[in-house]
Amino acid sequence: MLFKVKKKLFCHTCRDAFEREIHANKTKLNPTYRSFITDGFCDWKNARTRFKYHESSKIHSDSIYVVNQQTKPTVIAQLISTTKRQQEQHRESLLIQISSLIYLLRQGLALRGHSDIESNLIQLLKLRSIDNNFLKEWINDKKYLSHDIINELCREIYLFIIRDIVKEVSHTLPLCVIIHCCI
């Protein structure tokens, strides 16, 4: 869209509202409003009074309201996006916790220490929280770091490994065991 330089002043908000056809027909406008919307304002002697008059007008306040409503997300949209962001952060934190558990279990290290704060799992999660800010909140919340949940996650990891081994063995050729007896 090309604009012709008119060296005149326009009210951006009111002009935007009228270009979107939010208000009534432009031809029926009062000349005072038309100067800020379509014709352009250039009466610099009376500028202060005309600006104040336009700024306090109903058309200008309606234009501001309508344009702001269309550009700002609704409260519901903000709640939905916040909820999605929190769900993603919780999912990422849980995956980090599970990968830390797998690491500790594979290395044969104890998960817990003399206190929960000094445990290997918490210390590893604190180390990994340097890269993830939301993981610090996860650790401080301690909702998913209880003994029952950690034990259940370990049990699920164990069952996953057993299922994987059984699946691998069942797809191979029959096994044969040779026993050599020495008498």
With 60 as the cut, is the pLDDT of residue 3 above it? no
Q: What is the pTM of this model?
A: 0.54
User: What's residue 139's pLDDT?
Assistant: 87
Q: Which residues of 89-118 are buried (b: 16+ CB within 10 A; e: fewer)?
A: bbeebeebbeebbeebeeeeeebeeeeeee
Whole-number CA gyration radius for the chain:
34
Domains of the chain, residue spans: 12-71, 75-170
103-115 average pLDDT score: 87
With 50 as the cut, is the pLDDT of residue 65 above it? yes
With 70 as the cut, is the pLDDT of residue 1 above it? no
With 70 as the cut, is the pLDDT of residue 2 above it? no
Whole-number percent of the chain with pLDDT over 70: 82
User: What's residue 5's pLDDT?
Assistant: 61
Give DSSP secondary structure letters for the chain: --------B--HHHHHHHHTT-SS-GGGS-HHHHIIIII-B--GGGHHHHHHHHHTSHHHHHHHHHHHHHHSPPHHHHHHHHHHHHHHHHHHHHHHHHHHHHHHHHHT--S--SSSTTSHHHHHHHHHTTT-HHHHHHHHH-TT-SHHHHHHHHHHHHHHHHHHHHHHHHTSPPP--------
With 70 as the cut, is the pLDDT of residue 39 above it? yes
